[in-house]
Amino acid sequence: MGHLTSALPVVLDLSGRLVVVVGGGPVSAGRVSAFVDEGAVVRVVSPWLCEDLLDLAVEGLVEWRARDYAGPADLDGAWLVHTATGDARVDARVRADSEAARTWCIDEADPDGSPAAVPPRADVITADGRVTISTYAAQDPGLSVALRDGVERALVSGELDLRRTRPRGEGWVALVGGGPGADGLLTVRGHELLMAADVVVVDRLAPRAVVDRLPASVRVIDVGKTPGNHPVPQWRINEILVEEASRGLGVVRLKGGDPYVLGRGGEEREACEANGVRVEVVPGVTSAVAVPAAAGIPVTHRGVARGFSVVTGHEEIPVLPTGGDHTLLLLMAVNGLRWTAKLLVEHGRSPDCPVAIIERGFAPDQRVTTGTVANIADLAVERGVESPAVVVVGDVVRLGPDWP
């Protein structure tokens, strides 16, 4: 944009309004895409079009007059004009014709003399819709860009708290996968939604440091479960989500791992949708894959393992491929490990198949216990293995640094 010494920021509604673009190069293509996204009717005047503009013309999203600029008649009906022909004389002529017609013109060839400019812009999707960031620093376009990027980073990272700026209206629920507990593995979208939430319903294995940093105004409801102790049953968790959202609040259900990987996220989504509550699901880094990675164990490896299965250790495991080249990942399996090992052998898994138990993945006190299907239950008792832990069964365990 240009060094406009005096400028009043104005937001234009271009939907259904004609915008004339003179010039068919990449600079024009970037602007045309933005105009089309805003619902404008776009006419491009140029003897040739770059690939991106040609695609838009072929799709019928813009009108193409395949010739040089012919004069004021090309601007008839325009609400806004943009020129970037690469020929300063033609751009100056387009600008002069626009001024004569009292139509705003953005002249990319002469930003200092252009009566209009488009400041650096970024769009961020928040819990309540799109936020457009547009910045302007007189005499310093570089500072404008830096300001835009800084505000965008603050929104995306969750540093900016958007709760109090939103009037209470339609409530919503977001089922957010928090990953294996390490703050850095929570997704950008997860951070965004946490910074817009009024209520956070949190699991025991969710990233607690993120929760601890939330403002005091955010109500945190702890529904964490421990083995054999479920103080808040699942049906009640479903009710809490619906009740809070029905009050017009933004609710984040923050879970460990991924909501749809043995996390009962599907049940929570069904409960919300059955009660007319808008719900979004944000995938998380599943502990089934991430925790073995933290221990240096890949769940697949060329020449060693071609696939993997993830099952819960709470229930009797199903019959699965039994070769060491198929990795079995068990979640919530510590308490029933002896019974699970017995079933694996009965299903055909070799007693000598390697096994690793990774406790407290990504935590400073992470610990790995290795053995075989035949002896892993005894080793777990000897070492006092406790949840949370991920059990890995398969030849890939030999690739980890803790294999003897």
CATH number of the domain at 312, please: 3.30.950.10
Say which DSSP state 152 is in.
H
- 348-359 mean pLDDT: 96
Instruction: Quick: pLDDT tens for 141-189.
Output: 667 667 766 766 676 655 666 655 555 568 999 999 999 888 889 998 9
Averaged confidence pLDDT in the chain: 87
Burial of 225 (0-12, 13-18, 19+ CB in 10 A): middle
Note whether 30 and 112 are same-domain residues.
Answer: yes
| Tokens standing for residue 289 | 């894959």
Q: Which residues of 280-314 are buried (b: 16+ CB within 10 A; e: fewer)?
A: ebbbbbbbbbbbbbbbebbbebeebbeebbbbebe
pLDDT at 1 (0 to 100): 40
Q: Does residue 206 form part of some domain?
A: yes
Q: Does residue 239 form part of some domain?
A: yes
- Which residue has better confidence, 182 or 281? 281
Does the pLDDT of residue 343 top 60, yes or no? yes
List the beta bridge partners of residue 44. 21, 64
Structural contact between residues 32 and 118, judged by C-beta atoms closer than 8 angstroms: no
Q: Does residue 10 form part of some domain?
A: no
Domain that holds residue 371: 289-399
Q: Does residue 85 form part of some domain?
A: yes
Q: Does residue 304 form part of some domain?
A: yes
Note whether 138 and 238 are same-domain residues.
Answer: no
Structural contact between residues 159 and 214, judged by C-beta atoms closer than 8 angstroms: no
Does the pLDDT of residue 340 top 60, yes or no? yes
Structural contact between residues 104 and 93, judged by C-beta atoms closer than 8 angstroms: no
Instruction: Quick: pLDDT tens for 290-301.
Output: 999 999 999 999
- Which residue has better confidence, 144 or 324? 324
Could you tell me the CA-to-CA distances from 112 to 104, 136, 242, 285 in Å, in that order?
15, 14, 55, 48
pLDDT at 208 (0 to 100): 86
Note whether 294 and 385 are same-domain residues.
Answer: yes
Note whether 169 and 278 are same-domain residues.
Answer: yes
Note whether 130 and 221 are same-domain residues.
Answer: no
Does the pLDDT of residue 24 top 60, yes or no? yes
Note whether 274 and 197 are same-domain residues.
Answer: yes
d(CA 30, CA 154) in angstroms, rounded, equals 25
- 190-212 mean pLDDT: 90
List the CATH number of the domain containing 253. Answer: 3.40.1010.10
- 28-41 mean pLDDT: 92
| Tokens standing for residue 29 | 């293509």
Q: Does residue 140 form part of some domain?
A: yes
Instruction: Quick: pLDDT tens for 35-80.
Output: 999 899 999 999 999 999 999 999 999 999 999 999 999 999 999 9
| Tokens standing for residue 146 | 């830096």
Note whether 234 and 146 are same-domain residues.
Answer: no
Strand order in the sheet with 307-312: 307-312, 326-331, 389-393, 354-359, 367-372
Does the pLDDT of residue 283 top 70, yes or no? yes
List the CATH number of the domain containing 99. Answer: 3.40.50.720
Strand runs (DSSP E) across 67-171, as ranges?
A: 80-83, 104-107, 121-126, 129-134
Strand, coil or helix: what is 340? Answer: helix
327 pLDDT band (50/70/90 cuts)?
A: very high
217 pLDDT band (50/70/90 cuts)?
A: confident
CB contact set of 300 (below 8 Å; sequence gap of 6+)? 306, 307, 308, 327, 396
* One-letter amino acid for residue 130 of the chain: R
Does the pLDDT of residue 373 top 80, yes or no? yes
| Tokens standing for residue 186 | 């929570």
Query: How many separate domains does the chain show?
Result: 4
Note whether 337 and 377 are same-domain residues.
Answer: yes
Note whether 81 and 50 are same-domain residues.
Answer: yes
Least confident of 99-103, 143-147, 398-402: 143-147
